[in-house]
């Protein structure tokens, strides 16, 4: 079929997109989203600040707009994200210690319970490792509650929604030679060996000049898969333009297709003008919604 979702489905994979609730009344946007994609991630609407703006007062109105649009159009949904150092509500940013640990676990439990049975995969923990050399955890209020905060979050998510795949999601984990990649790999290996419930690893894959696509991406995906987890490309965008950008999109698709446990690819927005990046043209559709060379290369590679 001549759409991304149909082409991906031929090998049992999904092709997804991040959507913003505020754009669901833009018919150019929704027409493309409905035609091309069969998996949806809320770009911001299921994050901690959106879903628990005041402690223990949950607000799912915006997340539900995304979920309902997806459901009404026959799409599946990736949940993003239950625990993260960023986009925390103000009340949580000022918390620490046992109080914060319990608030985080309560958040994971309540949000995963609310969406129980409706989420294909949850990004349970997002971006918990530091960039650069050394492979350390990222310093954050959550990390300062103790190293075991990540596994505690996964256990709470499993208890709340046993049917959702539980993912660890991060960026700069695509290059197999990087310390950050190796540190996440060791964590996943440790979780699998100790029975901590983890089902998948999400590779955000925001590629630009500083964090460029590397041909060892396929090795990264297959190495994680060998630990017994699914791998998913969760937030793909590629800085650049023209044939060079198109070729990189094709490389990413080919790497996923080469790894049986790579079950899907999500791009982080519809048109270039929808991108979170303040510059550049990193997506598959131009500002007017026309298919770019990157789109054609992606479709042909699938």
As given in the structure block, the two tokens for residue 113 are 């319970």
Binding flag, residue 141, ligand XIL (CB under 6 A): no
- Residues 274-293 binding ligand XIL (CB under 6 A) are 276
Q: How far is the CB of 41 from ligand XIL (least distance, A)?
A: 9
Question: What contacts 128, CB < 8 A, 6 or more positions away?
Answer: 85, 137, 138, 140, 142, 143, 150, 168, 170
- Measured from the CB of residue 270, what is the shortest distance to ligand XIL in angstroms? 12
Number of residues assigned to the chain: 302
Residue of closest CB approach to ligand XIL: 276
Handedness of CA 125, 126, 128, 129 (dihedral sign): positive
Identify the residue whose tokens are 């997506």.
283
Per-residue exposure over 177-214, b if at least 16 CB sit within 10 Å of its own CB, e if not: ebbbbbbbbebbbebeeeebbbbbbbbbbbbeeebebb
Backbone angles phi, psi at 121, to 5 degrees: -145, 140
To ligand XIL, the closest distance from the beta carbon of 171 in angstroms equals 6
Residue 80 to residue 278: CA distance in whole angstroms: 21
Site track for ligand XIL across 170-209, x = CB under 6 A: ----------------------------------x-----
> Site size for ligand XIL, by CB under 6 A?
6
Distance of CA 79 to the CA centre of its chain: 8
For residue 44, state whether it binds ligand XIL (rule: CB under 6 A): yes
C-beta of 5 vs 126, nearer to ligand XIL: 126
Q: What is the largest CA-CA distance in the chain?
A: 52
- Exactly one of 52, 235, 239, 293 is catalytic; name it: 235
**Of residues 110, 230, 234, 90, the one with CA closest to residue 171:** 234
Note whether 266 binds ligand XIL by CB under 6 A.
Answer: no
126 binds ligand XIL (CB under 6 A): yes
- Asked if 239 touches ligand XIL (CB under 6 A), the answer is no
**Cβ distance to ligand XIL smaller for residue 126 or 223:** 126
Cα 129 to Cα 135: distance, rounded to the nearest angstrom: 7
Q: How far is the CB of 204 from ligand XIL (least distance, A)?
A: 6
| Distance of closest approach, residue 168 Cβ to ligand XIL, in angstroms | 12
Site residues for ligand XIL, window 202-221 (CB under 6 A)? 204
235 vs 239, which CB is nearer to ligand XIL? 235
Work out how close the CB of 147 gets to ligand XIL at its nearest, in angstroms, rounded to a whole number: 21
Residue 235 falls in the annotated catalytic set: yes
Report angle CA 244, 249, 254 to the nearest 5 degrees: 120
Q: Where are the beta strands (DSSP E) in the chain?
A: 14-19, 39-42, 76-84, 121-126, 165-170, 200-203, 206-207, 230-238, 262-267
**Residue nearer to ligand XIL on the CB measure, 206 or 297:** 206
Q: Is 43 in the site for ligand XIL (CB under 6 A)?
A: yes
Q: Contact residues for ligand XIL (CB under 6 A)?
A: 43-44, 126, 204, 235, 276
Q: Which residues are catalytic?
A: 235
């Amino acid at each position: 079929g001549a759409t991304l979702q149909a082409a991906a489905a031929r090998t049992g994979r999904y092709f997804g997109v991040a959507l913003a609730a505020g754009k669901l009344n833009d018919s150019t946007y929704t027409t493309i989203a409905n035609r091309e994609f069969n998996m949806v991630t809320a770009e911001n609407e299921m994050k901690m600040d959106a879903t628990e703006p005041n402690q223990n007062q949950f607000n799912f109105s915006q997340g539900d707009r995304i979920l309902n649009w997806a459901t009404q159009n026959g799409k599946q949904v990736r949940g993003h994200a239950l625990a993260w150092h960023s986009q925390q509500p103000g009340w949580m940013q000022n918390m620490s210690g046992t109080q914060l640990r319990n608030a985080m676990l309560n958040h994971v439990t309540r949000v995963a319970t609310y969406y129980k049975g409706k989420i294909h995969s949850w990004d349970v923990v997002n971006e918990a490792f530091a960039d650069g050399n050394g492979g350390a955890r990222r310093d954050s209020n959550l990390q300062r509650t103790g190293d075991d905060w990540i596994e505690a979050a996964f256990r709470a998510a499993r208890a709340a929604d046993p049917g959702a795949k539980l993912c660890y999601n991060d960026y700069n984990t695509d290059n197999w030679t990087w310390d950050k990649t190796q540190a996440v790999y060791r964590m996943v290996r440790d979780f699998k060996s100790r029975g901590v419930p983890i089902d998948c690893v999400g590779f955000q894959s925001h590629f630009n000049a500083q964090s460029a696509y590397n041909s060892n991406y396929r090795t990264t995906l297959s190495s994680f898969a060998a630990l017994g987890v699914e791998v998913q490309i969760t937030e793909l965008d590629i800085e650049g333009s023209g044939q060079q950008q198109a070729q990189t999109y094709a490389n990413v698709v080919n790497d996923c297709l080469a790894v049986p446990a790579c079950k899907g690819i999500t791009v982080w927005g519809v048109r270039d003008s929808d991108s979170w990046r303040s510059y550049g043209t990193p997506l598959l559709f131009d500002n007017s919604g026309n298919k770019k060379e990157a789109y054609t290369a992606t479709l042909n590679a699938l």
